[in-house]
Structure 1
Amino acid sequence: MASSILHITNGDSTTEVLSKLNFDGAVITWREMLCEGKTTIDVGSETFWKTRFEFLKTSYKTTKKAFIDYTLKEYRNLCNQKQQDEIVLWFEYDLFCQINMLAVISWLKRYRQGRKISLVCSGEIEGKKGLFGLSQLTEEELINQYNNRVVLSQDDIEYADYIWQLYCSDSPLRLETVHKFNPMSPFVYLEKSIKAHLQRFPSMKNGLNKLENHLLELANQQKFNSQEELVNAILKDQGVYGFGDAQYINKIQRLKKLFSSFDPVKLSKTGKKVLDNQLNFYGQIRSDFSYLGGSKKYSYLYIEDTQKLLKITS
């Protein structure tokens, strides 16, 4: 008798592709963005989902109904999938996916002990330059990725769970070194993602993080007729972050004092001073309610010269 398979995908676009290719097994879509907002270790618990809803409601005006319909119903569907022998994870190389992947593995470690867990993780494709998401692959490439999926050992599962625990801790400092301790890990894109995560803490030079500075640089260097054009540009030039348009619109809103216009897009005098490191914007943008994982975003500063974080003592 053939073994049964459960697929857990990184998003609806991947789920649609798998459905078209008629892969055997049930498909569940992991609909979260755990790279943003506060997270807790206990994935799937009441505390976990309450924490996530509070963040999404505050930052993205997500209604309770939308949260239940879009995220919780699919999670409950996952909870009901208990019979499969193998669980295949479909995630990508970027920070958005890698953090979600860690959370899913942590959940599987707790609730699906002893199951065979395998990973399809897109990024580099033989014979091509650049990094590719799952929805960018050809049918042949996708099937090839699936046939060459990596079966995770118990050590791999424990390692992913440990990194997830550190991500959810109230200090990001351990992440500076621990992600380098496992060079044989099958999570080949995790190190770059963790480095990118650490650069999301505010820079000591001007109080903005790497992504926020990149937004200002784009706005200053290129001509955009609208906020939409600026967002489209950074979506194409965001490196390993993998964020969506809603996340960048949210970031621009938080930086709106640094813009004098969005029709066309222009930096204000203050924005140009911040971009040139002549003015530190930390005091104006700081918030005690802004979290990256389990850590308060503005309790740490990123020092570019050493590529290290500095804890701010209050």
Structure 2
Amino acid sequence: MESIVHVCNGESTADSLSLADLPGDIRVWADALDQGPVLPVSDEEHWRLRGEFWASRGFRDSDGRLAAYDHGVDEAAGAEELILWFEHDLYDQLALIRLLARLARRGLPAQLTIVSIDRHPEVPDFHGLGELRPEQLAELWPRRTPLARDAIDEAITAWIAVTAPDPRALPFLTKRIKALPFLAGALERQLEEFPDPTSGLSRTERQVLAAVARGEAGAADLLRAAHAIDPRYTLTDGVLLWTLHTLGRCGFLEGAPAGAPSAAGLAALHVTVTARGREALAGAIDRVRACGIDDWRGGVHLTGKGPVWRWDGPQRRLIER
């Protein structure tokens, strides 16, 4: 085992780190925990459930890959120093709390540090560490900070709340978390993915539908529009395709992927909003009651045509409707 091990959430960051001339080994841990079931179960059951979910989205053999990621981090805990490279957004923060909760349970390394940023002076429209050049990552290395016990305890508490079948602890945590600077904002963003009390749309669904209604028809334009207004949630190609598929199935869009979404059709994508979609944006149609839902927010299974948990942003409360 190397005396120093870096763990990052994605291949692009790992590739740049490998060119940054930093000491130590590099491990990747990557799973989009904002998607699909995330339950308080054994490792084997977790890998199985996650693998089944990703297989339903067209990604085969994910269970073995996820198991390998976990085993890699378990081994890395034996290093003298373990450095976590995780940025501010929901994707990275959910991964961070899972890893910290796991390390706390299985054994912490001698020294645990983190590089975590939400901006960079040389990247005005910063989205993540994977955008940075190797020399920019190398400059962040001396700025890594130790993860104290209070940060680890916050991660454990947040992970329990995220994986619970009842989400009502999450709004309280967004006000109490202090040691992990970006976690409260990420949990707030997690709550915004619950259906709206009136329209039944998640924030991502509403933003995508609104962008199409403004005339954004192609994938590149939709991704750019989402990134411009939603820095805590990096919309990926896969999430965009699945969101368009869902909105199309509800009759809100024309030209959306009809079957299981495929990245192959991304370049040719051209979608337009329907009259029914404009009604949904205006809150005249409840998406959940109109076409049902079958989705997960951590440990919460949103299913059927209601009642389901919904997030009332202005009132900052979860309701069942």
- TM-score of the superposed pair, with normalisation by structure 1: 0.87
Give yes or no for contact 2:21–2:138 (8 Å, CA) kept in 1: no
Counterpart in the other structure of 1:283 = 289
CA deviation profile, 1:170-204 (whole Å, cap 9, x unmatched): 11111101232233x1x211111111111111011
Cα distance in 1 between the residues matched to 2:20 and 2:188: 35
SS of residue matched to 2:280: helix
In structure 2, the partner of 1:213 is: 206
Q: Distance in 1 between matches of 2:83 and 2:109?
A: 14
Alpha-carbon contact 1:163-1:179 (below 8 Å) kept? no
Distance 1:54-1:83 versus aligned 2 partners, 3 A rule: same
Equivalent residue for 1:297? 302
Cα deviation digits, residues 237-262 of structure 1 (max 9, x gap): 43211231111111110111211235
**Structure 1 pair 268/221, CA: closer, same or farther in 2 (3 Å)?**
same
Q: Distance in 2 between matches of 1:72 and 1:128?
A: 34
Provide Cα deviations, 1:211-230, integer angstroms capped at 9, x if missing partner: 11111110011242x45643
- Residue number among 269, 277, 292 corresponding to 1:271 in the alignment: 277
- Letter of the structure 2 residue corresponding to residue 206 of structure 1: S
Name the CA distance, whole Å, in 1 between partners of 2:241 and 2:270.
16
Aligned partner of 2:148 among 147, 153, 166:
153
Which blocks of at least 5 consecutive residues in structure 2 are unaligned? 257-268
Give structure 1 stretches of 5+ with no counterpart: none
Q: Residues of 1 paired with 2:18 and 2:124: CA distance?
A: 28
- Counterparts of 2:159 and 2:276, CA distance in 1: 38
Change (3 A) 1:196 1:83: closer
What does residue 237 of structure 2 align with? 245
User: 1:125-204 residue pairs with structure 2 within 5 A?
Assistant: 125=120, 131-183=126-178, 185=179, 187-204=180-197
Shift of 1:137: 3.0
Alignment of 1:76-115 (within 5 A): 76-81=71-76, 83-113=78-108, 115=110
CA–CA separation in structure 2 for the residues paired with 1:303 and 1:147: 41
- Report deviation, 1:139: 4.2
Q: Partner letter of residue 94 of structure 1?
A: D
**Partner of residue 55, structure 2:** 57
**Normalising to structure 2: TM-score of the pair?**
0.86
Take 1:223 and 1:170, find their aligned partners in 2: how far apart are those partners? 36
Whether the 8 Å CA contact 1:38–1:52 is kept in 2: the answer is: yes
In the TM superposition, residue 264 of structure 1 has moved relative to its aligned partner by 4.0
Report the AA paired with residue 302 of structure 2. K
Change (3 A) 1:264 1:29: closer
RMSD: 2.3
Shift of 1:19: 0.6
Aligned to 2:21: 22
2: distance between equivalents of 1:245 and 1:104? 25
CA distance in 1, matches of 2:224, 2:174: 31
Q: What is the number of residues matched between the two proteins? A: 302
1:35 maps to 34
Look up the match of 1:260. 254
Q: Classify 1:230/1:136 alpha carbon distance in 2 versus 1 (closer, same or farther; 3 Å).
A: closer
Q: Say whether the 8 Å CA contact 1:254–1:285 is kept in structure 2.
A: no
Q: Secondary structure at the match of 1:290?
A: strand
Which residue of 1 is the match for residue 262 of structure 2? none
SS of the residue corresponding to residue 109 of structure 1 reads helix
